[in-house]
Structure 1
Amino acid sequence: MDHLIGLLLGTEQDWPRAYETLIARLGPIRGPDGTSHTLRTTRVTIEPFNLRDTPAHDLVIDRLAYWYYHPREWLKKVALMDDVYLLNSPFTFQSMEKHAAYCAMMRLGLHVPETVLVPYKNPVDHTKWAYTAERYNRPFDLDAVADGLGYPLFMKPFDGGAWVGVSRITDSAQLHAAYDASGARLMHLQQSVEGYDVFTRSLSVGPETMVMKFRPELPMHERYAVEHGFLDATAGDEVVTISRLVNAFFRWEFNSCECLVRDGVVHPIDYANACPDVALTSLHYYFPWAMTALLRWTAFCVVTGRRPSLDMDTARYFAIADAAHLSYPEKLAEYRRLADDYFTVDAYREFCDTALAHVPALVAEWVASPGFDALLVDTVRATYPPAEHDRFVAHFRGLIDLWRRENPA
């Protein structure tokens, strides 16, 4: 049985080349029923489509439709009409964004910092604006809102990404300057978690999660620290649970989650990322893990005939949130159970141990090959100015060599 995996891409070249190479090397896979399956990839093009057309794809990895509406509507069509499996759901990313993601996780009792949505600074471009504003928009005291949250705080777009438009605010002057600059963007004000012990960013692909120590103040190539054991077992498990909970709840299966850990309390601050960072020059040491996880989860989905679940089943999660007799750790355990059930974790692990047992060695062998080194060099040349090529090639080669030593084939 042949399966086609589509890649809906923007400007990225590094991880798509890596993924395509690994799929081509994967070979036939034996499914749970004994049938043989082969996987191949194609890059999705953008063109007119008839709503009754039958797509050839079994699964699509989407890295574009969060801002490009035409392919977004194609994704909706192939999910609704043809059961094509999607990473990620265009339905929830379009409707939920950052704001609703905060609301849902607050509803589930997670330690999301206090957050206020403030009206637009500048009028929206709509003919009814003046009448509506005059009749219904109430004047408000921006300083009073900020004082209620307490300084320092962050102002950030309610639907933003990649830290665009995010400002750290320490006083009234900065508050008003940032609000004036926000223009027609709708903004949150959010408490800052000061004095945190660890900033984590977790990259999740299906049921697999890599929790990394993140240093946002450093250049991108240094933000992910190659460090192990920076969280104790309890906090580490909670960060993984939150990441998996978010992804199962919203049907986001290729996503990243940022959490701040302070005094043992985990505060999720950003976890709606339609296009999580998987660049080779960002992840470096962790890049082989990301490609392994993406290869295994997509293979599992198509070979086992996993179908998209468009119903979010929110009532099951909210019932746990409303259970007064459950403590916070007990609620986390129940959320983890629901998330693991959604991702069929046991079946996935068995599949990896049997049908995909050769994948870790396959990835390790490829990472040691001239082909991978050529990808690394091409990516550096496309990312950095010529004067820095030699420096960064050596830098990333060193980090990849460290991964190879710690993950022998």
Structure 2
Amino acid sequence: MKKIGILFGMENTFPNAFIERVNSKDSGFIAEAVTIDKVVQADPTEYAVIIDRISQDVPFYRAYLKNAALSGTAVINNPFWWSADEKFFNNALAEKIGVPVPKTVLIPSKQRPENTTETSFRNLAFPMAWEEIFEYIGFPAYMKPHDGGGWKSVYKVVNPHDMWHKHEETGQLVMMLQEEIEFTDYFRCYCIGQKDVLIMPYEPRNPHHLRYAAEMKASGEEGEKLLETIKDYTLRLNIALGYDFNTVEFAVRDGIPIAIDFCNPAPDADIYSVGRDNFEWVVEAAANLAIEKAKAHVPGQTNLTWGTFIKDAIGAPASTGAAENRGASAINDAPADSIPVRDTASAETPLAAPASAKEVKVKAITPKKSPKLVEDKGNQPVPSEPTPKIPTKKAAATKAPAANSKLKKP
């Protein structure tokens, strides 16, 4: 019997409810908590499907899941894409697919990464165009890790001096500066299987356990149109990114939903925070998705979901996506000239020479006389590589504007 596993950490309510829900259905599959006793390279697991809720915090689990996916397990979410994805890229991709996002810029880390020197940053302008950046973003603004999550290391900054002061605390984190959105409505949307969407009114300014205790302010035809747009944007983002289990947050400004955060592949699903009704929806949708993936599972084949961003890059349809053919993998349907060539012969079957191949005789070549030696004119100075120009002697990767800047520190 094929198994469906769930890999989790400290959370309790969702994993247990998910296991019970899958096992209560007459699907032919059994769900359980994943057990890992050894991880051998290229060895398949006993699971057709694994829902990942913790590998973002445990690198050992991420490596285990990649190995499992290589051997055919359908991992939700795709561990390869999850490892590559981050919030700043999300924002850039959202703009490309027509989803409004806050104005955002990338900021180098305050401290140099380990194993780097000042010359590692010779391509970085010192100082950066801070005046242009601040004029583009405006204040107040939010500074947050470009690849973070869980509201960690998020700062509200009210002016340039406040930003520089708080930037001192960020160490080697690469941050992004993002405009503040004054919103009238705020929503958090579950998207499961790239087709099922649950739109939940949400108040991020409330204490954690009360954030879902909010009501939608827009009403009537305006409210209906807003919800339709939010659903459309949610599906666009998850199909492009390739996530089967994710949440998207929107802040509504002047009737326009602006995507704030949509890189949450292990979103909060605890009954005590999302509420009983939302919890019931998530458990049911997740159980149905896992069973659907288990039914479509093909042993030994790559059973991962890839987003349209990757699909378009290789010119092949994404495999196992909601709107795509689940029986074909991206590599099988790719154009022949886009697929790397590999040796498919087995160790037992040596490659035969082509029928047209002929033996080639190599003619011996007598070496020519050596050229005359050049007269030794004594030791000549050997030119050396010029010493690189070091942009700054500061230990930090960033610094405040120049002395003549209008934004100089007090």
Q: Same fold (TM over 0.5)?
A: yes
Whether the 8 Å contact between 2:75 and 2:304 is mirrored in structure 1 is: no
Structure 1 window deviating more from structure 2 (265-274 vs 135-144): it is: 135-144
C-alpha displacement of 1:131:
2.3
The one-letter code of the counterpart of 1:58 is: A
C-alpha displacement of 1:143:
5.3
Which residue does the alignment assign to 1:202? Answer: 189
Whether the 8 Å contact between 2:242 and 2:321 is mirrored in structure 1 is: no
Q: Structure 2 vs 1, CA of residues 184 and 299 (structure 1 numbering), >3 Å: closer, same or farther?
A: same
Which residue does the alignment assign to 1:264? Answer: 255
C-alpha displacement of 1:311:
4.5
Q: Structure 2 vs 1, CA of residues 135 and 44 (structure 1 numbering), >3 Å: closer, same or farther?
A: same
Distance 2:121 2:321 in 1: 44
- Structure with larger Rg: 2
Alignment of 1:7-406 (within 5 A): 7-26=6-25, 28-29=26-27, 38-82=28-72, 84-126=73-115, 128-133=116-121, 136=124, 138-140=126-128, 142=130, 144-194=132-182, 196-206=183-193, 207-225=195-213, 227=215, 230=218, 232-285=223-276, 286-305=278-297, 308-309=303-304, 311-314=306-309, 342-344=321-323
Secondary structure at 2:29 match in 1: strand
Distance 2:190 2:142 in 1: 23
Q: Structure 2 vs 1, CA of residues 108 and 344 (structure 1 numbering), >3 Å: closer, same or farther?
A: closer
Distance 1:309 1:292 in 2: 21
Distance 1:141 1:14 in 2: 48
Q: Which runs of 5+ in 2 are unaligned?
A: 327-410
Q: Which runs of 5+ in 1 are unaligned?
A: 30-37, 319-337, 348-409
C-alpha displacement of 1:177:
1.9
Distance 1:78 1:296 in 2: 21
Count of residues paired in the alignment: 316
Distance 2:266 2:44 in 1: 26
C-alpha displacement of 1:42:
2.4
Q: Structure 2 vs 1, CA of residues 233 and 10 (structure 1 numbering), >3 Å: closer, same or farther?
A: same
Structure 1 window deviating more from structure 2 (44-53 vs 94-103): it is: 44-53
Distance 2:174 2:312 in 1: 29
Whether the 8 Å contact between 1:88 and 1:274 is mirrored in structure 2 is: yes
Structural RMSD (CA): 2.8
Q: Structure 2 vs 1, CA of residues 42 and 79 (structure 1 numbering), >3 Å: closer, same or farther?
A: same
C-alpha displacement of 1:345:
9.5
Report Cα offsets for 1:102-122 as digits up to 9, x if no partner. 121122222111110011111
Which residue does the alignment assign to 2:336? Answer: none
Distance 1:134 1:85 in 2: 43
C-alpha displacement of 1:24:
2.6
Whether the 8 Å contact between 2:197 and 2:231 is mirrored in structure 1 is: yes
Whether the 8 Å contact between 1:251 and 1:309 is mirrored in structure 2 is: no
Whether the 8 Å contact between 1:143 and 1:172 is mirrored in structure 2 is: no
C-alpha displacement of 1:202:
0.5
Secondary structure at 1:94 match in 2: helix
C-alpha displacement of 1:47:
4.2
Whether the 8 Å contact between 2:185 and 2:217 is mirrored in structure 1 is: no
Distance 2:154 2:205 in 1: 13
Q: Structure 2 vs 1, CA of residues 274 and 315 (structure 1 numbering), >3 Å: closer, same or farther?
A: closer
Distance 2:282 2:324 in 1: 18
Distance 2:57 2:169 in 1: 22
C-alpha displacement of 1:5:
0.8
The one-letter code of the counterpart of 1:170 is: V
Distance 2:265 2:117 in 1: 31
Whether the 8 Å contact between 2:192 and 2:245 is mirrored in structure 1 is: yes
Q: Structure 2 vs 1, CA of residues 317 and 230 (structure 1 numbering), >3 Å: closer, same or farther?
A: farther
Distance 2:123 2:146 in 1: 25
C-alpha displacement of 1:158:
0.3
Q: Structure 2 vs 1, CA of residues 317 and 170 (structure 1 numbering), >3 Å: closer, same or farther?
A: farther
What is the aligned-residue identity percentage?
Answer: 24
Whether the 8 Å contact between 2:86 and 2:147 is mirrored in structure 1 is: yes
Q: Structure 2 vs 1, CA of residues 280 and 310 (structure 1 numbering), >3 Å: closer, same or farther?
A: closer
